[in-house]
Chain A
Amino acid sequence: MSHGGIAVTFSARGDPLEPVGVVGVGPAALALARRVLAEDDAALAAWRGVVAQDAVFLLGAGDTLPWVDGAHYLGQDPAAPRILLPTTHRPNVPLEAFERALLRHAASLAPPLAILLEPRCVVSLAEARPLARELVQKWLEARS
């Protein structure tokens, strides 16, 4: 990831963030969608989500988030509240500066922005809404 000529790398953090979201990409997205559909409507209503072409994002209280193998958890560092980072990694540049640069670089995307490391990309979660079972079902059927 490079912004204004500075290459940004990520390294493991010794102080993992509390999860506020989970993302599945590729096969993990399919597994996450199936896992979500196994829940009742009350549990679904507690999460907000975004389904993208090849990914499923869920936001919610950390200890209610589902788990599937291969999913990644996202957290919010108080130093950069408008972006969601992998709970286990931090950029090698000051977070405040990283957030500012990212928001400027991706000006067309409304925050909060989720940073994914594999594949490396930035996704806007501004459209996250309470999960509708039909939407997830349709998304899953289109990929089965």
Chain B
Amino acid sequence: MPNSHLSREAVRRAIAEACTALVDRETLVELVVLCAVAGEHLLVVGPPGTGKSEAVRRIARRLGGRYFEYLIGRFTEPTELFGPINLRKLKEGIVETETAGMLPEAEIAFLDEVFLGSTAILNTLLSLLNERTFRRGHTILDCPLRVCVGASNRLPEDEQLAAFADRFLVRVFVEPIGDAGLEELLTTGWSLGAERGSASASMADLDVLTQAARAMDLAPVRPAMAHAVRTLRAAGIEWTDRRIVRVQRLVAAAAALAGRERPTEADLWPMVFALPTDQAQRLGRDVLRDALGAAENESLASAAAEGSLGLRARGAKIVTRGSALLEARPSAEQEARAWRLQLEGIAREIDATFGQETMPGDVAGLRARVVEILAE
């Protein structure tokens, strides 16, 4: 796959640019990319106003795909999502939908309050999500959808809706920004509206990585995956067989995004994000701590760290954040104090995470640079 290196670099650039000035939403951005490469869908669960749509919009813009976004309500008509009925054709007795610019033609989609959709909407969505096919009346279309991100305040309790929700393999549970990030949130939020980045990757880049992932032989990691599933079951975590099977796509996509030719135990961390509830994910991280200890992904450093809690992945995330911070040294005196406090935060995280015997070389290198600057 001669282009996969270039495609991976382009996607990494897109992630980095999308995350600039976004506070604490790196994992969400990275998981959108993981799902897009895996051909799976993502559900974001959390209160309104927590940056869900902004994060998805930003990565969609950087990936350069045709983007469709809609806030669904109880009275949303199917035409608002899928397009209006062609009235000229209707006079001839043909029910045809004009899909230009609507969800059936989107490559990346964000559907807020997705579970509020009517039965007609959810049924049409089901085949769109499962088969990438739009069926309505006489219109049958293959859809170019790479990833659909659904959002909701909470997981549905209704059985039928829960079955629909199961189509979103990856789940992310977001909280409002914590106390420590409020200054950064206020600063970046002030300038957020001005963000007008252009695409640094393309759907073709995603497709190259998707092909690389689909061509992978997962046999070497299946015993470890089966062991992890048994460990989760022993801890009382139940998930559907469909999710267990499909999580292989995430593992392969993680390996492709990490630049590996075949998946290893470093790529098992997405299993945690396929667990259906917040509680299951928290428990899953804990019981799989040893199994995911080798987790690492240069392209998806934040998600790998959050999924695994492994030292290698945490180190990679710290290095990414610390290096970006070092490059952003302000020239203005009044900004220097806030910047030094952020550097202290990096040093604190390093020292609270690693002993001398566990500190990776790149983390030690970052620490040395940070200590030198803080001593000035």
- A contact residues vs B (CB 8 Å cutoff): 12, 14-19, 61-67, 69, 71-73, 75, 86-89
* Contact A19:B352 (CB < 8 A) given known A12-B357, A67-B344, A69-B371: yes
Is B290 a contact of A19 with CB atoms below 8 Å?
no
Task: Point out which of A61, A64, A69, A75 has the most chain B C-beta atoms below 10 A from its C-beta.
Answer: A69
Whether a CB of chain A sits under 8 angstroms from the CB of B351 is: yes
Is A67 a contact of B289 with CB atoms below 8 Å?
no
Interface residues on chain B, size class: 20 to 34
B179 CB, min distance to chain A CBs, angstroms: 7
Contacts of A87 in B (CB 8 A): 352-353
Q: List 23 A-B contacts (CB under 8 A).
A: A12-B357, A14-B289, A14-B290, A14-B311, A15-B309, A16-B353, A16-B354, A17-B352, A61-B180, A63-B179, A63-B180, A63-B348, A64-B180, A65-B348, A66-B348, A67-B345, A69-B374, A86-B355, A87-B353, A88-B352, A88-B355, A88-B358, A89-B355
Contacts of B371 in A (CB 8 A): 69
Q: In the complex, A69→B357 CA distance in Å?
A: 17
Is A15 a contact of B289 with CB atoms below 8 Å?
yes
Contacts of A63 in B (CB 8 A): 178-180, 345, 348
Q: In the complex, A102→B374 CA distance in Å?
A: 37
Contacts of A86 in B (CB 8 A): 355
For the A-B complex with A63-B179, A65-B348 known, give 16 more contacts whose Cβ atoms are closer than 8 Å: A14-B289, A14-B290, A16-B353, A19-B352, A61-B179, A62-B352, A63-B345, A67-B344, A67-B345, A67-B351, A67-B374, A69-B374, A75-B352, A86-B355, A87-B352, A88-B352
* Contact A16:B289 (CB < 8 A) given known A63-B180, A63-B345, A88-B358: no
B222 CB, min distance to chain A CBs, angstroms: 24
A67 CB, min distance to chain B CBs, angstroms: 4
Q: Please, what's the 1-or-0 string for B171-187, where 1 marks a CB less than 8 Å from any CB in chain A?
A: 00000001110000000
Is A88 a contact of B345 with CB atoms below 8 Å?
no
- Cross-interface CB contact of A72 among B179, B180, B345, B351, cutoff 8 Å: B351
Is B352 a contact of A16 with CB atoms below 8 Å?
yes
Q: In the complex, A135→B310 CA distance in Å?
A: 40
Whether a CB of chain A sits under 8 angstroms from the CB of B253 is: no
B289 CB, min distance to chain A CBs, angstroms: 5
- Cross-interface CB contact of B347 among A12, A18, A61, A67, cutoff 8 Å: A67
Contacts of A67 in B (CB 8 A): 344-345, 347-348, 351, 374
Query: Closest chain A residue to B289 by CB distance?
Result: A15
B14 CB, min distance to chain A CBs, angstroms: 29
Contacts of A16 in B (CB 8 A): 311, 352-354
A47 CB, min distance to chain B CBs, angstroms: 14
Contacts of B353 in A (CB 8 A): 16, 87-88
B237 CB, min distance to chain A CBs, angstroms: 18
Contacts of A73 in B (CB 8 A): 348, 351-352
A131 CB, min distance to chain B CBs, angstroms: 18
Query: Closest chain B residue to A62 by CB distance?
Result: B352
Q: In the complex, A131→B358 CA distance in Å?
A: 33
Q: In the complex, A64→B179 CA distance in Å?
A: 9
Whether a CB of chain A sits under 8 angstroms from the CB of B47 is: no
A70 CB, min distance to chain B CBs, angstroms: 9
Whether a CB of chain A sits under 8 angstroms from the CB of B84 is: no
Contacts of B375 in A (CB 8 A): 69
Is B310 a contact of A12 with CB atoms below 8 Å?
no
B356 CB, min distance to chain A CBs, angstroms: 9
Contacts of B64 in A (CB 8 A): none
Q: Please, what's the 1-or-0 string for B334-360, where 1 marks a CB less than 8 Å from any CB in chain A?
A: 000000000011011001111101100
Q: In the complex, A14→B355 CA distance in Å?
A: 10
Is A66 a contact of B344 with CB atoms below 8 Å?
yes
Whether a CB of chain A sits under 8 angstroms from the CB of B293 is: yes
B307 CB, min distance to chain A CBs, angstroms: 14
